[in-house]
Amino acid sequence: MDAWRRYWFEFPVLRRRLALWRVLFFGLLAADFWLILLEHVPRFGAGGFNVSQLPFLDRWLPVPTPPVVGPLYLLGGFLSTAIALGISPRRCLFLLAPVYAGVYFWSQSDSYQHHYLISLLLILLTFVPEAAWTAPAPGEPERVDAWAMRLVYVQIGIMYAWTAVTKHTGVWLDGTTLEQIVTCEPREHLRALSAATGMSLDATMAAASTAVMVGEYIAGVVYFARPLWVVGMVLIPLFHIGVEWLGLDIELFSFYMIGTNILLLMPEPWLEALWRRAAGVLAPLSRLLAPLRAPQALDAGPARAMVGGLAVLLLLAGITTPYAGAPLAGVLLALAAVFVLRPWGGVEPRLRGHTVGLLLAGLALALTARFSETAYNYHRQWGGFLRRQGDEAGAMEMYVRANAAAGERPARHLQLARLVARRESPAAALVLVDEDIRRQTLRLDGAAAHPTDAEAWFDRGKTAKALADALAYAAELYPGLGRQAEVGDLRKRREAALVAAREAFRKNMELSPACGQGRMELSRLSGSRNANEPGGEP
């Protein structure tokens, strides 16, 4: 019983280990919220439909909608950034865990299974002592006992082991499943490997499938036995690199696990050396921030004024984001800041530094919303969903927002023009078509003008095809607007664009004979009687 108790409750964690892992894991989580999860928000509640992860709750839960889920994801990224910066990690986790796990269990609209693992980890991490998340100051203990971290290790081990158990099926072990899910280029690599080893492709697929299962078993065992940590630190990241090489789409999961395995399993001497190297690189920044990090006594009045000012700035930052539910996002950010800083009673001595840190997290949110492609993809996809559901007015609104978020890049002007022509006027639609033609032409003459590889040639072909579609639709609109005489010129320009598209797709096939996507596109161009057919992209 003593050994059992020690195993669970006497688990000393090196504080520098958790400090490094905190920066990596929660930095990735912030990027995940703002660059990936947020793009998926329009899926939630599409068509008024929802299925939760816990079916017995479906009759009680409301249908999730973008104006609610979007602000929660913005808040999640904000809290993750704050934790990565070392600002009251435990208090932030008290909010972050319910946000992430709550949305996951609420709906299967975004159902990658690693969301379940991250939900469990965040719940466990709320029980890790606050002191464990930061490097020790001189005179402080190097380690902190954290039974919750023992559970984190056990949970990750169970995840790997159970994933291996689920692969004890004929369709996995004979390579059938792997053959169906790998993308073209990895399949060609496996084909080359089979030729080099003299094995058939089926045998190579079966061997690769078995290797994946064995690797997951090894990873599971490693997390239960400290002497094997160094083995896992080397082998498990290689396993995840192999998963990425096979082209299996699991979003950021491999990156989470590569960093987690390296930092949580690294021997302490190596970790200390890594810490010294990182500290040396960041020394100038540390000296610059030293005045903010130093504890400073503040009276309650100035402290509350400082936090109040921060709350107002965060409210504005949330309200100005280009997403549905922006006012709710602003309110959530402001309330979260007040909860984390708590400027009442005994004022936190590091309040000034934490206030600046949360301000930086809010700035990161604002810059990501402004300069990433997330807002464009968010509105583009939502517009596509609404259009397919027959809500043309809603689709038009989303396409307008997508076009505004795209800057000068080609966007959704042609898709919007088709809706405007039906609901408003051909003249208004033509303005949008002309803008699409301008942008596609600029891209064809600029970014796509000098392809250097198969992918770049494919991009040039898609751009030329999009230009041809826009020119063809303009030719449909011109006669009704009294511009019949100009239709011939449009058709000539369209034919030139189609020639450029075919040339680009053929070049893509030459440079990538087995996997070039140009073959399918070329087939569509050759087989279509109407080159103005929509490309099918939402």
Q: Where are the domains of the chain?
A: 11-145+294-372, 150-282, 408-527
Q: Identify the band that residue 472 occupies on the pLDDT scale cut at 50, 70 and 90.
A: very high
- What is the rounded distance in angstroms from the CA atom of residue 208 to the CA atom of residue 314? 50
Count helices and strands in the chain by DSSP H and E runs: 24, 2
Examine the pLDDT at 68 and tell me if it is beyond 60: yes
47 vs 213, more confident: 213
Identify the residue whose tokens are 């959704």: 412
For the stretch 229-266, pLDDT in tens is 999 999 999 888 888 877 777 888 999 999 999 999 99
C-alpha neighbours within 13 Å on the C-beta side of residue 349: 6
- Supply the mean pLDDT for the chain: 90
User: What residues pair up with 13 in beta bridges, in sequence order?
Assistant: 144
* pLDDT mean over 51-57: 86
Strands 143-145, 12-14: parallel, antiparallel or unpaired by DSSP?
antiparallel
pLDDT band at 533; cut points 50, 70, 90:
very low
Contacts 24+ apart (CB under 8 A), 92-99: 92/340, 93/122, 93/125, 93/126, 94/126, 95/336, 95/339, 95/340, 96/122, 97/122, 97/123, 97/125, 97/126, 99/72, 99/75
Element (H, E) at 366: helix 351-371
Distance, in Å, from the CA atom of 503 to the CA atom of 525, rounded to the nearest integer, reads 12
Note the pLDDT tens digit of each residue in 302-342.
888 899 999 999 999 999 999 999 999 999 999 999 999 98
How far does Cα 38 stand from its chain's mean position? 8
Query: Rounded to an integer, what distance in angstroms lies between the CA atom of residue 27 and that of residue 319?
Result: 23
Mean pLDDT of 419-425: 93
Helices (H), 198-245: 201-222, 229-245
pTM of the model: 0.91
Q: What is the average pLDDT across 449-475?
A: 94
Give the pLDDT score at 23: 95
Buried b (16+ CB within 10 A) or exposed e, 187-221: beebeeebeeeeeeeeebbbbbbbebbebbebbbb
- Compute φ and ψ for 431, nearest 5 degrees: -60, -40
Res 267 pLDDT > 80: yes
On whether the CB atoms of residues 410 and 462 are closer than 8 A, the answer is: no
Query: In a 10 Å sphere around its CB, with 0-12 CB exposed, 13-18 middle and 19+ buried, how is residue 346 labelled?
Result: exposed
Is the pLDDT at 423 greater than 60? The verdict is yes
pLDDT of residue 528: 55
Residue 507 to residue 485: CA distance in whole angstroms: 35
The per-residue pLDDT for 345 is 61
Angle at 332 between CA 58 and CA 310, to 5 degrees: 170
Question: Tens of pLDDT along 168-198?
Answer: 999 999 999 988 888 888 888 888 888 888 8
Residue-wise pLDDT for 74-100, tens only, equals 999 999 999 999 999 999 999 999 999
What's residue 294's pLDDT? 67
What is the C-alpha to C-alpha distance for residues 452 and 448, in angstroms, rounded to an integer? Answer: 10
Q: What is the pLDDT of residues 285-307, one digit of tens each?
A: 777 766 666 677 677 788 888 99
* pLDDT value at residue 532: 42
Among 182-196, 200-214, 350-364, which stretch is predicted with the lowest mean pLDDT? 182-196
pLDDT number for residue 183: 81
Q: Which residue has the higher pLDDT, 79 or 205?
A: 79
Residue 537 pLDDT class (50, 70, 90 cuts): very low
Nearest to 133 by CA among 41, 52, 17: 17
